[in-house]
Every structure is written in structure tokens, then in C-alpha cells.
Amino acid sequence: MGRGRLHATITEALIKAVNSTTAVKYLLFAGVKRMALRTDIDEDIFPGR
């Protein structure tokens, strides 16, 4: 395996890792947004609870 191919493989692995991390971040953020919406709806439906 030549140096160029090794660098390409390492670069590809790093890009995949960053993309995976970003995808997880967006999934977690979407979950937080949904939970906040549910909390707001619960407050509207069941005030003082």
C-alpha cells in the first residue's frame, strides 16, 4: 500500500467518523426538541401539574 493510498484511507475514515458524530448530534437534538414540545403541551393541558 502506497503512502497516497494510506492517506486516502485515513482521510476517508476521519470523514466517516465526523459524519457519524454529526448525525448522532442531530438525532439527539431532534429528541430534545420533541421532549421540549411534549413538556410544553403537557403544561398547556395539565397546568399546575
Q: Is 46 helix (H, G, I), strand (E, B) or coil?
A: coil
21: left (phi over 0), alpha (psi -120 to 50) or beta: alpha
Number of domains in the chain: 1
More confident residue, 3 or 49: 3
45: containing domain: 23-49
8 within some domain: no
14 within some domain: no
Q: Is 1 helix (H, G, I), strand (E, B) or coil?
A: coil
45 within some domain: yes
pLDDT in tens, 7-47: 888 888 888 887 787 877 887 888 778 777 777 666 667 66
